[in-house]
């Protein structure tokens, strides 16, 4: 059981991820855009962040960079959930400091296993963004 920040603007997707996470008894904090996501990360200091990339206000890449820049949140693992299937977008995401990603449509039970793996690796050392 962990506190997980979900940054997602689409209502269906919000509901889906929240319900799967609740099945796994995780505590969910929800942020509807990138900037809210960055603030929520600072405020709630979640153990893991699920981040959509195509987000309003601040997109996922920018939000990930800001989270990595803040020493309080720099270590939190971020898994991107994205419908951007092109390889260059994935590369950009990794460069922004994202630890892993799942392509939409997400196979949620697989995602849950991935989350468990990340959480089991705790306590996490801060992960610096790659150059």
With contact defined as beta carbons under 8 Å apart, do 61 and 92 qualify? yes
SS3 111: helix
Q: Which is nearer to another protein, 10 or 100 (CB)?
A: 10
Q: If you count them, how many residues does the chain have?
A: 131
Kindly provide the residue ranges of all beta strands, DSSP E only, lying in the chain, ordered along the sequence. Answer: 3-7, 27-31, 48-52, 78-82, 100-103
Among the listed ranges 15-23, 39-47, 56-64, 92-100, the one in contact with another protein (CB under 8 A) is: 15-23
Q: Which of residues 38-77 bind another protein (CB under 8 A)?
A: 54
Q: Does 85 bind another protein (CB under 8 A)?
A: yes
Total binding residues for another protein by CB under 8 A?
19
Contacts of 22 (CB under 8 A, 6+ apart): 28
Among the listed ranges 26-34, 67-75, 103-111, 113-121, the one in contact with another protein (CB under 8 A) is: 103-111
SS3 110: helix
Q: Which is nearer to another protein, 41 or 63 (CB)?
A: 63
Contacts of 106 (CB under 8 A, 6+ apart): 16, 17, 81
Greatest CA separation for the chain: 37
Q: Does 92 bind another protein (CB under 8 A)?
A: no
- Near another protein by CB under 8 A: residue from 65, 108, 119, 129: 108
Taking the complex as a whole, how short is the minimal distance between the CB of residue 95 and another protein, in angstroms?
17
Q: Does 16 bind another protein (CB under 8 A)?
A: yes
The alpha carbon of residue 55 and the mean position of all alpha carbons in its chain are separated, in whole angstroms, by 12
Residues engaged in binding another protein (CB under 8 A): 10, 12-13, 16, 19-20, 23, 54, 83-86, 103-109
């Amino acid at each position: 059981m962990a506190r997980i920040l979900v940054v997602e603007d689409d209502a269906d997707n919000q509901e889906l991820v929240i319900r799967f996470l609740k099945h796994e008894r995780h505590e969910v904090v929800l942020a509807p855009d990138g900037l809210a996501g960055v603030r929520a990360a600072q405020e709630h200091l979640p153990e893991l962040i699920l981040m959509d990339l195509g987000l309003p206000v601040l997109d996922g890449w920018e939000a990930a960079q800001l989270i990595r820049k803040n020493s309080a949140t720099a270590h939190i693992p971020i898994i991107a959930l994205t419908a951007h299937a092109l390889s260059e977008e994935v590369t950009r995401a990794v460069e922004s400091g994202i630890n892993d990603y799942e392509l939409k449509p997400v196979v949620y039970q697989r995602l849950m296993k991935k989350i468990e793996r990340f959480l089991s690796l705790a306590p996490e050392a801060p992960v610096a963004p790659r150059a």
